[in-house]
C-alpha cells in the first residue's frame, strides 16, 4: 500500500467531496431507491435500476476517497525553503520557447490534477520533465503532442 502524495488543498477537496457524498448524495439515492421500489415490479423498473447503479458508483467513490485519505502523504510546500527547485506541490512559471507563450502549472497528485485549472499530475510527461529542474533551466519535454521546449522562469512554493 503505497503512500499517495497530496497537497493540503487536494486533501481538503477530497474531504469536502466525502462529506457531500455521505451527507447529501447518499440520502438522496436511498430516497430515490425507496420511491422506485414503491412503483412495484423491480425487474422492469428502470428508475430502480438507475438509482441502484448511482448508489454503486457513489459507494465506490466513497471507498476510493477513504482509501486515498488513509494513504495520503500530505505535502505542504509553504513550510519548505524555496531553493528554486521544482518539487511536488510547487507552482512553476514557464515560457514555451517555441511559441513564446507564458504559462504556469502547479504540480499535484493524481486526484487533484485538472489541466483546465493548470494543475498537472506529477507523473504526467510535463510533470516528470519539470520535477527536479531549477529556476532558469531550459527543459525539453517529450509529450504525446511532440517535443516541447520550456524555460523555467520562476518556481514558487505557494
Q: Under DSSP, is residue 124 helix (H, G, I), strand (E, B) or coil?
A: coil
Under CATH, what is the fold of the domain 77-156? Chitinase A; domain 3 (3.10.50)
Domains 4-75 and 77-156 share a fold: no
Residue 40 has pLDDT above 90, yes or no: no
* pTM across the whole model: 0.84
- What is the average pLDDT score of the chain? 94
Residue 1 has pLDDT above 80, yes or no: no
Residue 4 has pLDDT above 90, yes or no: no
Contact 121, 108 (CB under 8 A): yes
In eight-state DSSP terms, residue 144 is T
Contact 131, 144 (CB under 8 A): no
Parse the chain into domains and list their residue ranges: 4-75, 77-156
Q: Under DSSP, is residue 114 helix (H, G, I), strand (E, B) or coil?
A: strand
Residue 132 has pLDDT above 80, yes or no: yes
Residue 39's pLDDT band, with cuts at 50, 70 and 90, is confident
Mean pLDDT of 146-153: 96
Please tell us whether the domain made up of 4-75 is placed in CATH 1.10.287.180.
Answer: yes
Mean pLDDT of 84-104: 96
Mean pLDDT of 66-88: 94
Amino acid at each position: 500500500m503505497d503512500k499517495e502524495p497530496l497537497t493540503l488543498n487536494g486533501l481538503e477537496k477530497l474531504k469536502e467531496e466525502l462529506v457531500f457524498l455521505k451527507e447529501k448524495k447518499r440520502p438522496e439515492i436511498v430516497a430515490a431507491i425507496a420511491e422506485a421500489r414503491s412503483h412495484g415490479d423491480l425487474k422492469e423498473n428502470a428508475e430502480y435500476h438507475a438509482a441502484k447503479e448511482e448508489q454503486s458508483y457513489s459507494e465506490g467513490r466513497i471507498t476510493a476517497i477513504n482509501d486515498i485519505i488513509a494513504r495520503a502523504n500530505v505535502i505542504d510546500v509553504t513550510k519548505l525553503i524555496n531553493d528554486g527547485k521544482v518539487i511536488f506541490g510547487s507552482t512553476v512559471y514557464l515560457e514555451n520557447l517555441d511559441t513564446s507563450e507564458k504559462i504556469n502549472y502547479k504540480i499535484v497528485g493524481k486526484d487533484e490534477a485538472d489541466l483546465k485549472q493548470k494543475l498537472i499530475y506529477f507523473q504526467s510527461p510535463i510533470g516528470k520533465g519539470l520535477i527536479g529542474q531549477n529556476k532558469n533551466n531550459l527543459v525539453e519535454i517529450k509529450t504525446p503532442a511532440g517535443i516541447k521546449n520550456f524555460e523555467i522562469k520562476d518556481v514558487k512554493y505557494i
